[in-house]
C-alpha cells in the first residue's frame, strides 16, 4: 500500500478515518485486503501462546462512495462505522 495515496484522520480516541486520494489496486482489492486483515486478527485472538496483553484487537469497517445512495461524506462514514461495529460484535462472539 502506497501511503502517499491515502489520508488518515483521527475521528475520536479510538476511531480513524482513512480516505483514498485516487483509485488503485488497494481500492480495487478492498474485499481481499479486509479479509486478510480480519484473518490476522482472528489468528492473534486464537493464539494461546500469547499473554492477554499481547493480543491485539481491531475492528475494521469500510464503505465506498455510492452515487445512488450517498448525498454526503457523512453517509459513507455512517455505513463504515456500522460495518466496524458489526465486525466488533463478530469478534466478541469468537472470544466467548
Distances in whole angstroms, Cα of residue 46 to Cα of each of 15, 41, 60, 63, 94: 24, 9, 18, 28, 9
pLDDT digits (tens, 9 = 90+) for 21-46: 566 667 778 888 889 988 988 888 88
The 10 Å Cβ neighbour count of residue 12 is 7
Within-domain flag for 74? yes
pTM summary value: 0.70
Q: Which domain holds residue 54?
A: 22-95
CB of 77 within 8 A of CB of 17? yes
CB of 8 within 8 A of CB of 18? yes
Within-domain flag for 56? yes
pLDDT digits (tens, 9 = 90+) for 40-65: 888 888 899 999 888 888 888 888 88
How many folded domains does the chain comprise?
A: 1
Amino acid at each position: 500500500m502506497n501511503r502517499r495515496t491515502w489520508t488518515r484522520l483521527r475521528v475520536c480516541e479510538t476511531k480513524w478515518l482513512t480516505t483514498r486520494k485516487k483509485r488503485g489496486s488497494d481500492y480495487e482489492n478492498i474485499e481481499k485486503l479486509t479479509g486478510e486483515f480480519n484473518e490476522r486478527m482472528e489468528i492473534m485472538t486464537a493464539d494461546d501462546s500469547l499473554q492477554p496483553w499481547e493480543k491485539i484487537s481491531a475492528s475494521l469497517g469500510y464503505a465506498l462512495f455510492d452515487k445512488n445512495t450517498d448525498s454526503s461524506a457523512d453517509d459513507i462514514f455512517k455505513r463504515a462505522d456500522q460495518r466496524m461495529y458489526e465486525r466488533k460484535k463478530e469478534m466478541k462472539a469468537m472470544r466467548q
